[in-house]
Amino acid sequence: KNQVEQSPQSLIILEGKNCTLQCNYTVSPFSNLRWYKQDTGRGPVSLTIMTFSENTKSNGRYTATLDADTKQSSLHITASQLSDSASYICVVSAGFQKLVFGTGTRLLVSP
Amino acid sequence: NAGVTQTPKFQVLKTGQSMTLQCAQDMNHEYMSWYRQDPGMGLRLIHYSVGAGITDQGEVPNGYNVSRSTTEDFPLRLLSAAPSQTSVYFCASSTGTFYGYTFGSGTRLTVV
């Protein structure tokens, strides 16, 4: 069964600190992996998209990594800001119309 | 750019009522889709469209209808609302399924 599991479920960090969110997947075939940020009461916003051949992709203070061999991805947030408080969703594409969504990691950045 | 616009933002329905959730995009995207988001679950695909006049079912299509008469609009119809349809609904558009999606801000629907 195609699944995307994210950890931790929730996380609290102090403003200015770094953090890393994890995503493990069992999705086949693999097309690409995406990270989205979802603010409370809003729709998800795309952060990165990585294909099989990409190991790292950055978007400002967000850096995603992908290990296709172990089927793991991580999202690293550097120098966190209060505005980073949100849910972060990992999504794996298995091809046309086959997006498998994780349940997200809820991040709270505390002042 | 407005992006993807969903209306209404909130709606309360009685069991058995019907309604239409509106979705419009101004990016000339061919691909549009509807998802529902429930607590503790990932987003699930309801229906999608790859262009005007073409629609197809997703993972959880029962109880919903869609149509795509123009590139810009992709309404979702609830035929006879049930409490199980209480959820947050998101419309998304893209230039293709292998590209990033632009999501609307969602419609929070409660069926009592």
* Average pLDDT, rounded, for chain B: 94
pLDDT value for A33: 95
Q: Does the beta-carbon distance from B106 to A45 stay under 8 Å? A: no
Q: Mean pLDDT across the stretch B80-98?
A: 92
Q: Mean pLDDT across the stretch B28-45?
A: 94
Query: For residue A97, is it left (φ>0), alpha (ψ between -120 and 50) or beta?
Result: left
The CA distance from A64 to A48, in Å, is 7
Confidence of residue A2 (pLDDT cuts 50, 70, 90): confident
Residue B100 has pLDDT above 90, yes or no: no
Residues of A in contact with B44 (CB under 8 A): 101
Nearest to B105 among A32, A42, A103 (CB): A42
Residue B70, exposed/middle/buried by CB under 10 A (0-12, 13-18, 19+)?
A: exposed
Of B67, B32, B60, B25, nearest to B45 by C-alpha is B60
